[in-house]
Structure 1
């Protein structure tokens, strides 16, 4: 069979980095790791082709070549996914859909020929067996979680790797915590399931052998879910790998209790990690109790962030406003916390209720889920009726975004972070595209940009005070350009319209 794997388009969002990747000559931030893994689960004799609509156009010729289309995606890709389903039905080409978007709301995609849901390692073999018999069913579900030690190496050769800013790898699925608004545990469970160090090194070798010498994103929802295994097995293996393989740097997502373990911090830095995304959510203890974010309670969150910065890891932070317990003062408290913490990449969103979460179930019983979940944390909308009222939440949210992404405040946070940040032990090599990115940044930000004074002030300050972090300063400046573009598209325009 000829199999076409299609990745739907991401809208222009906080995490798309659409306005940043052009500085380094790339088309998209991350590749479709899930689809590449699905491709490895398909029969080896089948012909396979990947079209990522974020980096190339999907043509009718592509669709007509295929005997069957496989598509996966996340909620934020819903609009593009629906268009692709419609195109397949019009030709017609059978389409098989899976991934978080379809697993969370399968009833919304009745026009897809087959829904292979949950984890593909379990449900895809069942579908393929029935397909061979001519008895393929509409929906396939799994009643358990897969063993990641049996997950194959993604088929990287299907990918045009030079079009991406970073590549991706997965070490674990699942999270030991139970945050009220998060659907990770509904999808993957509470007990972290792990790949072996041998699997990870094998995948890294495959990536390295393709010539990749840049960022690699460990996409785990909580990389430190099993700290003992990390310290005893995976991180020592990564440190050993780095002795022979130069150039690649890692980043990932984890919980704030990383700050409580200096040995783990040290090992992650030695292994080549340079940044982590952490869900801070709120500086308010009552809000943290409300959403069961127990790992963030009873601690000095500012000091925890500072500890991680001093270790050499940049902290990217997630923040939420709109909890039932949020007082009117929460908006200024969020602004103050973000500015004082030096968290440059601060993803602030209104509280949303993803289907499958305890929050969704509770608010649905209260008739407070009023529109579909978009999956976009920072588009200035929510799918629930907030207790404080929509007008108060919207105005407060717009106020936060205007404050933290104004050039003066943004560049002030960059300096705060750089003051605390220990220079990394591993630097990315200065290739031609990164060399050009400095000149592109100098032109777009330092000459044509509204923030040119702030930009040059930061560059001069960094050269004098933290010269080893000059590439970090330029990179964060480029990110700031992207975030302001997102604010202009979603936040500032609503403020002008009075929404």
Structure 2
């Protein structure tokens, strides 16, 4: 059996080479994980394609095509699925978007996988071989990350990425932020791999540097402490995702440092306390951000601080204020996005109830387009303000001012910042407001062909 697993490209990669440089890309873990789950008794030829770095040949001679889908890539995924299905090839769709809104994906596939696929994907493959594949497979309530096969990271085109040493110890998050897809797709109970499995996976890979893609590696404080303790003997350096609550746990922070942590992505989200309460992330306190940054830098941990614009508390001055904040506080790698009400989330339901959604063209749900009517600014003010914040933070002044405070290695700091400077300078080319004609905050204006197409979905 010939199996093709692919990840479709989103707007970032519409142009050849994409908007991101290689220094900002790490190898995806999803497709190699799915590959590891193919039952050993099924004879197969496997091909993996990440359309962010490779083209998808629509004449590929597959028997079964599996596509992982996030909301921003859904239209492209549906397009690819249609091309293969027109040739009589069966297509399976899964991933976050399918889990959030399965009924949206169902018409575009022969089968869909809702939830995590560790149990359902092997079951689907056995059913396919037997000629009995069902239209939908749903994650079982007793799902566990224990006793899973080791992922073969050599399946990814490693030369196309900065690193393929990508790992996970946990999935999920205990928090219920209004805009986050995680609690609405998978619930708020985190899943955990046995720590000995995580350690053995890293050891077997030979990694000296690792990236943990856990959405909140400190979601369970006891588990995090035990994980950090177990990482210490490996003598690796690692980067991952956390929350600001790490600053309130000095013992855990020290363990984090001793385990080799050299960089964390933390969702700061806003410099407005009111805006944070609005999206159920009130445990963040902007007044304490400078102290958090100082604590991390004093321990050799660089910070990627992420912010969203377009909260109902935001006014047109939020962009300049936020950009200046990240420069003056010395955030090593700031990142900005437009808050997006992804389908299935509480924010989506609220925006829909308030009549504020402007389009259901999922390709625009990418964090850099406005898909709802803002409360205190126009659509164009929000899109243009977001881009202005990127340009200001990654101006030469912004890069060099933040460099004075960084604890990252000079080469790493410059590579990442120059990569994001390239991104910031090309936003106008890669993202346009063409789909939205008109900028009146009180009116959607004519939504043009794209929005009409999206509304029809």
Which interval holds the TM-score relative to the shorter structure?
0.7 to 0.9
1:89 equivalent to 2:85? Answer yes
3-state SS, counterpart of residue 319 of structure 1: strand
Structure 1: distance between partners of 2:12 and 2:316: 30
**Does the 8 Å contact 1:12/1:486 carry over to 2?**
no
Structure 2: distance between partners of 1:263 and 1:471: 30
Structure 1: distance between partners of 2:239 and 2:142: 26
1:147 equivalent to 2:136? Answer no
1:43 equivalent to 2:49? Answer no
Structure 1 residue runs of 5 or longer lacking an equivalent are 243-247, 424-468
3-state SS, counterpart of residue 263 of structure 1: helix
1:267 equivalent to 2:255? Answer yes
Q: Go from structure 1 to structure 2 and tell me whether the alpha carbon gap of 1:400 and 1:161 turns closer, same or farther (over 3 Å shift).
A: closer
Structure 2: distance between partners of 1:186 and 1:145: 18
1:223 equivalent to 2:223? Answer no
Structure 2 residue runs of 5 or longer lacking an equivalent are 440-457
Provide the residue aligned with 2:450 in structure 1.
none
Provide the residue aligned with 1:348 in structure 2.
336
Q: By how many angstroms is 1:285 displaced?
A: 0.9
Provide the residue aligned with 1:5 in structure 2.
5
Moved more, 280-289 or 331-340: 331-340
Please list the CA deviations of residues 267-310 of structure 1 after superposition, one character each: whole Å capped at 9, or x if unmatched.
Answer: 22222221111111111111111111022038512211221122
Structure 1: distance between partners of 2:116 and 2:413: 39
Q: Go from structure 1 to structure 2 and tell me whether the alpha carbon gap of 1:203 and 1:80 turns closer, same or farther (over 3 Å shift).
A: farther
Structure 2: distance between partners of 1:281 and 1:194: 26
User: Aligned runs of 1:24-423 on 2, under 5 Å?
Assistant: 29-45=25-41, 46-47=43-44, 48-59=46-57, 63-64=60-61, 66-109=62-105, 110-142=107-139, 144=141, 146-167=143-164, 168-208=166-206, 213=208, 215-231=209-225, 233-242=226-235, 249-297=237-285, 300-372=288-360, 373-374=362-363, 378-379=367-368, 381-390=369-378, 391-415=380-404, 417-418=405-406, 421=407
**Does the 8 Å contact 1:401/1:491 carry over to 2?**
no
1:474 equivalent to 2:379? Answer no
Provide the residue aligned with 1:454 in structure 2.
none
Moved more, 168-177 or 370-379: 370-379
Please list the CA deviations of residues 333-359 of structure 1 after superposition, one character each: whole Å capped at 9, or x if unmatched.
Answer: 312321222113222122210112111
Q: By how many angstroms is 1:492 displaced?
A: 9.0
**Does the 8 Å contact 2:17/2:53 carry over to 1?**
no
Structure 2: distance between partners of 1:312 and 1:106: 43
Q: Go from structure 1 to structure 2 and tell me whether the alpha carbon gap of 1:298 and 1:410 turns closer, same or farther (over 3 Å shift).
A: closer
**Does the 8 Å contact 1:254/1:277 carry over to 2?**
yes
Q: By how many angstroms is 1:378 displaced?
A: 4.7
Instruction: Give the structure with the larger helix fraction.
Output: 1
Structure 2: distance between partners of 1:327 and 1:20: 29
TM-score, structure 1 length as denominator? 0.78
Structure 2: distance between partners of 1:178 and 1:153: 31
3-state SS, counterpart of residue 294 of structure 1: coil
Q: Go from structure 1 to structure 2 and tell me whether the alpha carbon gap of 1:117 and 1:493 turns closer, same or farther (over 3 Å shift).
A: closer
Match of 1:484 among 419, 424, 436: 424
Q: Go from structure 1 to structure 2 and tell me whether the alpha carbon gap of 1:225 and 1:358 turns closer, same or farther (over 3 Å shift).
A: same
What is the count of residue pairs matched by the alignment?
429
3-state SS, counterpart of residue 181 of structure 1: coil
3-state SS, counterpart of residue 4 of structure 1: strand
**Does the 8 Å contact 1:75/1:374 carry over to 2?**
yes
Q: By how many angstroms is 1:404 displaced?
A: 1.9
**Does the 8 Å contact 1:414/1:476 carry over to 2?**
no
Q: By how many angstroms is 1:326 displaced?
A: 2.2
